[in-house]
A and B are shown apart, each in its own frame.
Chain A
Amino acid sequence: MVEMEQLQKEAKEILKQGKVKFVIGYSKGSQNLTATPVFIKKPEHTSRLIWDPTCVQNLVKFIVDDKQKQSREKKPDERPVGIVVKGCDSRAINVLIQEKFIDRDDVYILGLSCEELGVVDEKKIAQKLEGKKIEKIEFAKKNNLIVSTKDGEKKIPVKDVLADRCLECKAHFPVIYDQLFGEETEREVKEPYKSIKKTESQSPKKRWDFWKEQLEKCIRCYACRSICPMCYCDECVADSINMAVTAETTAEEKAQKIKWIERSPALSENIGYHLIRAIHLAGRCIDCGECERACPVDIPLRLLNKKLEKAAHELFDYDVGFDHKKPSLISSFKDEDPEDFIR
């Protein structure tokens, strides 16, 4: 069991010593629902930190934001950022270090083990409540959630509402950390790619019908890109008006930015956007599920990334985010990489 007090104590300690500029963690949600991110700057506020299965967000995005902010500041505070991470999130940090976006010293990692659980899927909770509005979610003893609606309280075992990604997770404890809380318990994952199995087994026509229906819905709000800790480019190749403009950028450069994808949310353009995004996340997506959670029209975005995660594993024996010293998936190759598809 992760002791919340220990986490708070450690956070307090590092803030007191000035080791970190602030600690990013989870605190009680303002609506009494799932946890909400919190930035703690003063040691006396660390009692706000919590840890339970409602801590769904991947906070690593804030590290990316901070790094980008620093690069614009004249005298940035170069002390590390303290951050609370789960197993999946820790792998995001590994990828950022691997890609030299951040240094190891930029972060002070407070790692939490999910042990036998993980985090909840809000949609699964909603299903259990048959449309009733949630007033409060509490994490109680024996790994249960107490969910209150206007009709009273309902006890739901966390195990029944775990996010799919947690059921398929290969690293439910941090793979990189400065302090670890909880146990590195073993747990067996029978089907690490279960969620894409159904789609994979269908005929190309069925698969197409499925994706057509899904991607037609996309309104290209780019929430999936904005929330992704791996989408840190200043300029997005898939978005023609997203351009890093500096004082030196000439009008000509602006005018000549290549437009690979039209801005209209037409099916062909949506597909183009999502194909590019998926490919650019191959060997980088750590399956935190944030893109899918942020999508306002419920597109199962995880599946695209999961497919490439599986391909990387099966074809190239590459697992994302376990070792930041290894070269990345597409900046490396092996002589024996498969080529049976090449004539």
Chain B
Amino acid sequence: MTKDFEPTIVAFLCKWCSSAGSDLAGVSRMKYPPNVIPITVMCSGSVSPLYIFNAFQKGADGVLVSGCHPGDCHYIKGNFYARRRIALVKELLDFIGLESERFKMSWVSAAEGTKYTEIIKDFVKELKPLGPQKKLRRDQ
């Protein structure tokens, strides 16, 4: 069963870097697993912890938050705030026993199409053996 399991990843990508990075991967025709549902947000700093919890509730097997490298945020400080907030969310999810592999953060610039594909490839590889995420999932 777990062999055929294809995880669903919800990725919150900031418009100015990470989303552009994923676009670059696309237009350059780089190959990477189709398991991602990308959601463009204005800035990694605008990702509320609610979005993350809700993604898991709606059945995401993994969640990624990705923004510009420190110093590159379009809104100057957004990703610094995000870094703190996400660290706390991570601690909390860990503490209630969600596998820590399921939640990730990354810095992907508009030029890093390759890095983006690597991140997704590795994420999928890590999620597969874990099987579906059922802990936070809402019963339909």
Interface on A for B, CB 8 Å cutoff?
A: 196, 199-200, 204-212, 237, 260, 262, 266, 268-269, 271-272, 275-276, 278-279, 282, 304, 307-308, 311-312, 315-316, 329-331, 333, 335, 337-339, 341-343
Given contacts A207-B96, A275-B96, contact A262 B105 (CB under 8 A): no
Contact of B85 with A by CB under 8 A: yes
CA distance A272 to B91 in the complex (A): 15
- When distances are taken between beta carbons in the complex, the residues of chain B under 8 Å from A342 are 83, 86, 105-107
Given contacts A208-B96, A308-B92, A333-B77, contact A272 B57 (CB under 8 A): yes
Judging by beta carbons under 8 Å apart, are B97 and A206 in contact? yes
Judging by beta carbons under 8 Å apart, are A282 and B88 in contact? yes
CA distance A331 to B45 in the complex (A): 11
CA distance A260 to B11 in the complex (A): 18
Interface of B is mostly: helix
Given contacts A307-B91, A333-B77, A342-B106, contact A272 B98 (CB under 8 A): no
Judging by beta carbons under 8 Å apart, are A204 and B100 in contact? yes
Q: How many chain B residues have a CB neighbour from A under 8 Å?
A: 37
Query: CB-CB contacts of B23-54 with A at 8 A, as 1s and 0s?
Result: 00000000000000000000000000110011
Judging by beta carbons under 8 Å apart, are A211 and B96 in contact? yes
Contact of B4 with A by CB under 8 A: no
Write the nearest CB–CB distance from A335 to chain B, whole angstroms.
8
CA distance A329 to B81 in the complex (A): 10
CA distance A304 to B87 in the complex (A): 15
- When distances are taken between beta carbons in the complex, the residues of chain A under 8 Å from B125 are none
Judging by beta carbons under 8 Å apart, are A266 and B89 in contact? no
Contact of B104 with A by CB under 8 A: yes
Judging by beta carbons under 8 Å apart, are A208 and B53 in contact? no
CA distance A304 to B105 in the complex (A): 22
Other-chain residue from A205, A209, A266, A308 in contact with B88 (beta carbon distance below 8 A): A308
Judging by beta carbons under 8 Å apart, are B97 and A209 in contact? yes
Other-chain residue from A210, A337, A341, A343 in contact with B119 (beta carbon distance below 8 A): A343
Given contacts A204-B100, A279-B49, A308-B91, contact A268 B57 (CB under 8 A): yes
- When distances are taken between beta carbons in the complex, the residues of chain B under 8 Å from A338 are 87
- In the complex, 19 of the A-B residue pairs with CB atoms within 8 angstroms, ordered by the A residue number, are A196-B95, A199-B95, A204-B98, A205-B97, A211-B96, A211-B97, A268-B57, A268-B139, A279-B88, A282-B88, A307-B92, A307-B95, A315-B87, A315-B91, A330-B84, A330-B88, A335-B70, A337-B87, A343-B106
Write the nearest CB–CB distance from A293 to chain B, whole angstroms.
21
Among A204, A276, A329, A338, the most chain B Cβ lie within 10 Å of the Cβ of A204
Judging by beta carbons under 8 Å apart, are B92 and A266 in contact? no
CA distance A199 to B91 in the complex (A): 13
Given contacts A272-B54, A330-B88, 18 further A-B contacts (CB under 8 A): A199-B95, A204-B99, A208-B135, A268-B136, A268-B137, A268-B138, A268-B139, A271-B136, A275-B92, A279-B88, A308-B88, A308-B91, A311-B87, A330-B84, A335-B80, A339-B70, A342-B106, A343-B106
Given contacts A271-B136, A329-B84, contact A237 B105 (CB under 8 A): no
CA distance A272 to B98 in the complex (A): 13
Judging by beta carbons under 8 Å apart, are A337 and B84 in contact? yes
Contact of B90 with A by CB under 8 A: yes
- When distances are taken between beta carbons in the complex, the residues of chain B under 8 Å from A204 are 94, 97-100
- Which 7 pairs show the lowest CB-CB distances between chains A and B? A208-B97, A207-B97, A333-B80, A311-B91, A343-B106, A268-B138, A211-B96
CA distance A278 to B136 in the complex (A): 16
Write the nearest CB–CB distance from A290 to chain B, whole angstroms.
20
- When distances are taken between beta carbons in the complex, the residues of chain B under 8 Å from A268 are 57, 136-139
Judging by beta carbons under 8 Å apart, are A276 and B49 in contact? yes
CA distance A212 to B97 in the complex (A): 9
CA distance A269 to B107 in the complex (A): 31
Write the nearest CB–CB distance from A131 to chain B, whole angstroms.
32
Write the nearest CB–CB distance from B50 to chain A, whole angstroms.
6
- When distances are taken between beta carbons in the complex, the residues of chain B under 8 Å from A211 are 96-97
- When distances are taken between beta carbons in the complex, the residues of chain B under 8 Å from A260 are 50, 54
